[in-house]
Chains A and B, each alone.
Chain A
Amino acid sequence: MDKTASPEQPALGPRLAGIVGPENVATDRQVTKTYEVDGLVPAAVVFAANTEQVSQIVKAGNESGASIIPWGSGSKQAVGPCLSSADIVLCLKPMNRIIELNTGNFSVEIGAGLSNAALQKQMGEHRLLFPLDPLYLETSTIGGELATNASGPRRAAYGTARDIVLGITAVTPTGDIIHTGGRTMKNVAGIDLCKLYIGSWGTLGIITEAVLRLFPLPEVSRSLCLTFAGIEDAFRLVARLLISPLTPGSVELIDGVAGRNSAPIGDSPLAEDEVRLLIDISGNREEVERHLKEISAMAGANQVRHIATLEGEAATRAWNAYRGAHQAVLSAAPSAFQGKASVPLSRQADMFKAIKEIGQKYRVPTGIRGHCYNGILYPYVVAGDDHAVSIIGDLKKAAADLGGFFIVESAPLPVRKSAGALPRRSDRALMKRLKTEFDPNNILNPGKLGEGAD
């Protein structure tokens, strides 16, 4: 737990200062308090400027038995299983350089502390696109996004981090610096540790640098905003699309409850019982025209209530509002929680209905957002803490019955503590062994691997 009083601590502060310089270590509670995570206030916050410093800090942590919490922008710290200890917050924000841009290879090497938005902006100037677009991309750092395997609407067309990352430099929990992957599009030399680091939530090492794939900016982009009275119609359209040769860039869904606190998503208001599909179509002119024509026709055949084609500013506004919906719902109701249900593509409508029924059973409003090309729905449950655990139990069961799973993401701390466990799986023991082998002293993000892992 909070080890502030443990005997190693006095020596650790100066040691950290020796590595990064005193100006890059904060032990003042006023500062450390702002890095409180899962109810734990770290004894020190350290800012690292390069991979070598990270390595030395991790070695120091091992020697003194202090737990280390790698930190990007902090946007996902309160997501998922809770930490069991947090002595040192190791912030990678200063490592925010573009190390090498190789436009001919469509790759860029970056420091893990670079924010997604800063990267997008600079790549845009070269007419290049970095396709990872998670919710908090304005602030979230690339390192944090890779560590949490964050993704966004564009995953429909470009895949997730594992399809976009070419190489990773990481510091292992014992302080070794390792280089995995490389800068080529194809690479099968050795065991693929690069992908192991993606989604490992900082429990197997600290990602300090990465080589990322880039793509040409599409010639034309349009967005279709389709409003439906019922979920069946919307998902019938999605099912048609999924077996067609059409290749939309993203196919996102939001219902009136999830959208009720945000700016208008599209050109018209969304009633509480309506659902909306927001579809990005990007490519060359001919392709985009074909998509617009065919998808509109499919929508017409599926009782669409309202169709709008958006471009330029209007499209950007709609997408920003869509992204903003998440925070807007959670801010409006502090007791609300958000989870993630992943089911086979053809069971999305069933999962949607199950979420609504569970909401009705407990008499709480439920909003839903989702990546329709990936079978992922994000329920927002506006419940008081007392029902939350039962609701989560029901959601887990519903998702499992449909061949998928449900996990809690953003939730008040007590809810995460009592219901944050990850689904039990047969590969759990292997994960635990891997964690122990890499991190024998259990100092990197202890607890974050979830139930029984540490």
Chain B
Amino acid sequence: MVKESFIKELAKILGRENVLSARKDLLAYSYDSTPERGMPEVIVFPRSTAQVSAVMKAVHREKIPVVPRGAGTNLSGGTIPTSGGVVLELSRMNRILEIDSANRRATVEPGVVNLDLQNALAPLGFVFPPDPASQKSSTLGGNVGENAGGPHCLKYGVTSKYVCGMEIVLADGEIVELGGSAEDTPGYDLRALLIGAEGILGIVTRLVLNIVPLPETSWILLAVFETLEDASQAVSDIISAGIIPGALELMDKTSCWVIEQSISAGYPTDAEGVLLIELEGLGDSLDRQAKDISEICRKNKMRELRLAKTTDEKAVLWQGRRGFFGAVARICPQYVVMDGTVPRNMIVPALRKVGEVAEKYKVTIANVAHAGDGNLHPLILFDVNSEKEKKAAKEAGKVILKVCLDMGGTLTGEHGIGLEKLPTMKAMFRPADLAAMHRVKSVFDPDSILNPGKLLPPEEDGPHHEEKEAPA
């Protein structure tokens, strides 16, 4: 329980305008896009590392849970304050501290919105490659918290590849530097632990990011197929031909239809499979790439091919894909987003299975996928007012995750475990694997005050010490 006197102490550290505790404010921080709910007791907005550290010292003394939060756009319930306590929102630490293109580095505070950084980089001819579809609102600290991906991660890799250094505040308020601007810092790669840790190991208060020059040219191909199977086979064939486009996104008929209801991206609404393929690189090489890819698509019975070269045309095509989750929410506010990821050559059978599951459980599934990486996003739609539909959606989701695991895949490619996928962790990891993760957690946050109840299933759920091995 957070006492009134504690809230006063926080106000003293941060200034009253940076502390919220009115019921309407608490309510606003009690939910996200998942159906889960949890009321915080106070919300704080630090403006500096020193303030974060002071807040952590205070909560550490009182052993009060803290949920670090960026923009709260994560899709796994990761910022829901299920144990009450403090929500520590970093959105006011939103300064770009330095852009140093000669060194290919940008230094930022964690609350900087991904797109704001991109907009500052573009005039200098640079880009920060991770580009989650939520980039208009998600923060770089949140991108690190989830190890976010995005369409262009096919060619460039995910967030973990672009974090060189970070400053973090530990659960007890200690400030620590990990990595740095120079490469290959000796010692353990503790950055790697923080990236994708969903706020359970420490609070990121500064980031040194790797930025790269923008590609010289980019084109978009929109390839239209009569069946989803043909479209996914084309993806598989492009990848196995050794072609690595900038992005390779797949959308099914339902998705295209949903998008066209609120965004006029010009996607066909009568085709079962559509691929959005971005080619990029030196101008000289794009003709060849386009030719090779269209040939593969044609072999897979492509019905239509469009080529966009101008900035405006390309922007419209991207707007559709990037606006997908929002567009769905407008039509059906409740849905389960899956994030299962399979080996790249399993995309055809995986999507086929998803189709079978939809039929069996009588649920509507809209499919988008970062297909080149095998990252599926089946969206299971349901009517909140129908318990039966809700249950069917949940069941279908479980089956789809199992399908992904059975194919050698993973529970989540980029959205994280959070609260939502916690019950499935044991299907993927053995007790010894989870025990090792708990060891790491206990080193960083022995009292378990940082985002408790997320990412790691509680230890007492099962024995974790050495599995007894049969004697040889």
Contact = CB atoms under 8 A, between A and B. Distances in A.
A200 B188 contact: yes
Interface string B277-292: 0000110110111000
B437 A193 contact: yes
A275 to B, nearest CB: 20
Contacts of B411: 189
A450 interface: yes
Contacts of B177: 425-427
Given A176-B432, A344-B103, A427-B187, A190 B437 contact: yes
A215 B147 CA distance: 23
Contacts of A182: 408-410
Interface string A85-106: 0000000000000000011111
A191 interface: yes
Interface in A286-311: 286-287, 289-290
Contacts of A344: 100, 103, 105, 181-182
Contacts of B183: 342, 374-376
Given A172-B436, A189-B417, A104 B344 contact: yes
Contact of A178 (B147, B182, B436, B472): B436
Interface stretch (B80-88, B157-165, B382-390): B157-165
Interface centre among B186, B239, B285, B440 (most CB of A within 10 A): B186
Nearest to A293: B284
Contacts of A422: 186-187
Identify which of A127, A215, A245, A438 gathers the most chain B CB atoms within 10 Å of its CB.
A245
Contacts of B285: 283-284, 286-287, 290
A146 to B, nearest CB: 12
Contacts of A53: 472
Nearest to A438: B439
Nearest to A203: B188
Interface in B84-119: 100-105
B466 interface: yes
A177 B287 CA distance: 49
Interface in A171-206: 172, 174-180, 182-196, 198-200, 204
B284 A287 contact: yes
- Select the residue from A127, A176, A290 with max chain B CB neighbours within 10 A: A176
A449 B370 CA distance: 39
A37 interface: no
Contact of A193 (B103, B346, B436, B466): B436
A364 interface: no
A216 interface: yes
Given A195-B192, A423-B186, A107 B373 contact: no
B111 to A, nearest CB: 21
Interface in B225-248: 236, 239-240, 242, 244
Nearest to B446: A433
A186 to B, nearest CB: 4
A222 to B, nearest CB: 15
A19 interface: yes
A189 B425 contact: yes
A430 B176 CA distance: 9
Nearest to B195: A192
B428 A430 contact: no
Interface string B325-359: 00000000000000001111110000000000000
Interface string A231-261: 0000000010011111100000000000000
A434 B408 contact: no
A239 B189 CA distance: 28
Contact of A245 (B158, B213, B441): B213
A94 to B, nearest CB: 16
Nearest to A158: B157
A310 to B, nearest CB: 22
Interface in B149-200: 149, 153-154, 157-158, 160-161, 170, 175-178, 180-190, 192-193, 195-197
Given A193-B437, A287-B285, A186 B189 contact: no
Nearest to B190: A427
B102 A345 contact: yes
Interface stretch (A111-119, A136-144, A380-388, A403-411): A403-411
Contacts of B236: 104
B416 interface: yes
B413 interface: yes
Given A286-B288, A430-B176, A105 B443 contact: no
A428 B103 CA distance: 26
Contacts of A340: 184
A175 B467 CA distance: 10
30 contacts: A56-B469, A104-B344, A105-B343, A159-B161, A176-B466, A176-B467, A178-B436, A183-B343, A184-B342, A184-B375, A184-B410, A186-B158, A187-B410, A189-B411, A189-B417, A192-B147, A192-B197, A196-B189, A198-B189, A243-B213, A245-B216, A283-B285, A286-B288, A289-B284, A343-B182, A344-B103, A345-B103, A404-B182, A427-B178, A438-B439
Contacts of B216: 245
A438 B442 CA distance: 11
A55 interface: yes
Most chain A CB within 10 A, of B342, B417, B440, B441, is at: B440
